[in-house]
A and B are shown apart, each in its own frame.
Chain A
Amino acid sequence: MPILEVRNISFGYGLHTPFAVQAIDNVSFSIEKGECVSVIGHTGSGKSTLMQMLNGLLKPDRGQVLLNGKDINETKKTAAAARFRVGLCFQYPEYQLFGETCAADIGFGPKNMGLAPDEIRARVQKAAAIVGLPSEKLEASPFDLSGGQKRRCAIAGVIAMEPEILILDEPTAGLDPVGREEILDMIRRCRAEQGATIMIVTHSMEIAASISDRILVLNKGKLHLSGTPQEVFADTQKLHEIGLDVPSYTRILRALRDKGFDLPDAYTLPDAAKLLCRLLKEGGRT
């Protein structure tokens, strides 16, 4: 059984007003335990609305969200519980930091779950270690951290609730390359060490390709494409239709292939470099 299953959900904002928007329109997909899935789409494609329905913040107008086979909107109680079970980390989560110390901030979620102080402390330590926040920073004010550290501290606040699914909305937006790599490393660690199930909303094809098992492409509230990175990036035509494109490394390899070089597709920097390297060793054209 998939850990999360979404069945034909729809959601509209401001229905019965002149500003009515059908944000999500009959979307279905499922996610297996331990998977990492990226959600891609332009601004206004419905990504954030979709994410908020997955943890019960928004209730779909139609359709169901099943967590371990059970509808999260069955009762008010199950919807509230879903907020702890599906950890949603918004865009620019560092703007939501408020604790006097990093430890207090990270511990806020667990405290609201009604956990014992010892358990909270242990979870704070563990979450800080997962995101790579040095333990001596735990007693510092979150406002004294660097941009990348603030972001990771805020994410730790969600991880400390030990959700069954972790959803990160644009986790690397606004960070410089170093900060971005730290976040991507953190996600890889979460997967390797915790076997975490993760969903990532991103604008970057490269990030989607390098980190996820599957990609969902949203357009105007509908699921436009979905599949493994290979499957999604094979359908260039369908990506172009909605103004998206394959990663630039893929474009370069395909252009070289058109010039007669024997190269398969690749979607990430290391894979593209490896392929080109091998080609040089073999020294071959077809």
Chain B
Amino acid sequence: MNKKELISFQNVSFSYETDTENPKTVLQDISFSVMEGEFLCILGHNGSGKSTVAKLSNALLLPDQGRILVDGVDTGDEEQQIEIRKKIGIVFQNPDNQIVASIVEEDVAFGPENLCLPREEIRSRVDAALKAVDMYDRRFHETHRLSGGQKQRVSIAGMIAMRPKCIFFDEPTAMLDPKGRRSILNTIHRLNREYGITVVYITHFMDEAAEADRVMLLSDGRILKTGTPSEVFTQTDLIVRCGLELPDPAKLSFELSELGIRLTPGVLTEQDFIDAFQRFMKESQ
């Protein structure tokens, strides 16, 4: 992809509780870019620093060392921080913490209202955003009667109505059931494809990362690997060491290797496993 750099982390380090005796270092000298229009997935276990990356990207947090450029502007520039936050949005994990209004369309209008936009503009943005997440039919519903997945879609609509260039999704499906997970993931992919919104998707579910353009593996505040999903996922040892979960067929292949049976590396899907196992049987006879 020879597109423009939207976000650039340059040798960024960050610690929490720097004013105490034991600061907790979360990110150590990391550098990476998010390209305009791409779908980047950041994979890491709990506490790997994933969420901190999101908060640094729109100046909710500022780096201790290094710098972060958004569209060429340093996030440390206080006068530009409002502009940066308009460009980079974050959707968090818990749908219940992100709903502010009792009616769906009022909740989505909250952001645009705070941008002091004219009424007609707010109306059209809210309608468009709700249509984008398939919640337009429920625009008059009460938010507290929605399912978790529906609430999360409303949160996303609230973000879209702000018209950001890029949205960080911080484990948006962690609290949803398998059906809700799938629908949110489809919605996010559609936003990326059809609306051209740059997506940074943070998760520890490997199966959710499989459809991303690029995957970045984060562990203990360092980037261990960046590449296409198949480049990263074939490094099964690395992934297990990061405390991440392999897809089930890969786990079975890994378990067999522990028992001394080494199938062809790179098993990800059930079909991969079946093929690799058959091949192994043929060769061992």
**What residues make up the interface of A, taking CB atoms closer than 8 Å to B?**
19, 42-44, 92, 146-148, 173-179, 203, 206, 243, 247-249, 251-252, 255-256, 259, 261, 269-270, 272-273, 276-277, 280, 283
- Whether B227 is near chain A, meaning CB under 8 Å from some CB there, is no
Give CA–CA (A251, B46) in the complex, Å. Answer: 30
Quick one: given A178-B45, A277-B256, are A42 and B270 in contact (CB under 8 Å)? Answer: no
- The answer for the CA separation of A256 and B261 in the assembled complex, in Å, is 17
Contact, CB under 8 Å: A248 / B270: yes
Question: A43–B148 contact, CB under 8 A?
Answer: yes
A276 B256 Cβ-Cβ under 8 A: yes
Q: Give the docked Cα–Cα distance between A213 and B243 (Å).
A: 29
Contact pick for A283, options B147, B259, B261, B284, CB 8 Å: B284
For A177, the closest partner residue in chain B by CB is: B245
Task: Please judge, given known A-B contacts A252-B270, A252-B274, A273-B252, whether A176 and B245 are in contact too, CB under 8 Å.
Answer: yes
What is the predominant secondary structure among interface residues of chain B facing chain A? helix
Shortest Cβ gap from B74 to chain A (Å): 33
Q: Does B255 contact A (CB under 8 A)?
A: yes
Is the CB–CB distance between A252 and B273 below 8 Å?
A: yes
Contact A44 B273 (CB under 8 A): no
- Assuming the contacts A248-B248, A252-B274, A255-B270, asked whether A273 and B175 have C-beta atoms less than 8 A apart, the reply is no
Classify chain B: how many residues form its interface, as a range. Answer: 35 or more
- How far apart are the CA atoms of A97 and B271 in the complex, in Å? 44
| Interface pair A44/B255, CB less than 8 Å apart | no
- The distance in angstroms between the C-alpha atoms of A280 and B282, with both chains bound, is 10
Residues of A within 8 A of B145 (CB): 19
Q: Is the CB of B255 within 8 A of A176?
A: no
Pull 21 A–B residue pairs with CB atoms less than 8 Å apart, ordered by A: A43-B147, A43-B177, A44-B147, A146-B47, A148-B46, A173-B175, A176-B45, A176-B244, A177-B244, A178-B46, A206-B248, A248-B249, A248-B270, A249-B252, A255-B270, A269-B252, A269-B255, A276-B252, A277-B259, A280-B261, A283-B281
CB nearest neighbor in A for B274: A255
Interface pairs A-B: 4 shortest CB-CB: A248-B248, A273-B255, A177-B245, A43-B177
Q: How far is the CA of A174 from the CA of B92 in the complex (A)?
A: 13
Report the separation of the CA atoms of residues A68 and B169 in the bound assembly, to the nearest whole angstrom: 48
B270 pairs with A251, CB closer than 8 A: yes
Q: A178-B243, A269-B255 are in contact. Are A252 and B249 (CB under 8 A)?
A: yes
Considering the chains assembled together, what is the distance between the CA atoms of A8 and B284 in angstroms?
A: 56
